[in-house]
Amino acid sequence: MNVTITLGGLLVGLVLILRQFLPSAWVMLKLKAGGKGRGFDGEAAPTRFNIREHVPFLLGTTVGMLAISCPGGIIGTIAAKIVGFSNTAGDKVLAAGAGGTTTSVTRHATASMTQYGALVTVLLVAAVIILRKLLDKKMRGQLGAGVWCGSTLGLSAGAAGLLGSVLIPAVNQLGHMIGGQA
């Protein structure tokens, strides 16, 4: 399966990251400047950055990055469709908003996922589906946005480096341990 990410798709993935982390950063900057510490919605905001609030997004991003690394199958096909939607939407926004043209920014991970890594990826996707039913609405949205973001950014230069050097080898090794092939 040959999937490419365009500059517009990269834009969509980066906007999803901003959507997740910008409100917390805004409150922290406002507090540092002596503001009242109110969030975008007017509610009192915490005085410190709490990574636990972002765990569903980060989990979804990791699973999305692994999904786009799958060599095929239903998971790889769905992740490729997500990238296609992101490319189309981002390219239109880039062209209409800034008059920019698009180009491919795909970088492929150096490590490839084995069948053992695919086993772990399927288990993680199943865990995300199960968690989606158990989480509240806000966390479900974060989880879905994370999967979308990870699928979209998984082939970009920085994320492909992370995938190739850390995530895919770790998932392959975990799969080997589960399958008894240590």
Sequence ranges of the domains in the chain: 7-178
In tens, the pLDDT along 85-126 reads: 999 999 999 888 888 778 887 776 656 888 899 999 999 999
Q: Is the pLDDT of residue 57 over 90?
A: yes
Q: How high is the pLDDT of residue 122?
A: 94
65-95 b/e with 16+ CB inside 10 Å = b?
Answer: bbbbbbeeeebbebbbebbbebbeebbeebe
Band the pLDDT of 47: cuts 50, 70, 90.
low
Give the C-alpha separation, 13 to 54, whole Å.
16
56 or 28: whose pLDDT is higher?
A: 56
> How high is the mean pLDDT of the chain?
83
Angle (CA) 164-168-171 rounded to 5° is 160
The DSSP secondary structure of 111-144, one letter per residue, reads S---HHHHHHHHHHHHHHHHHHHHS-HHHHHHHH
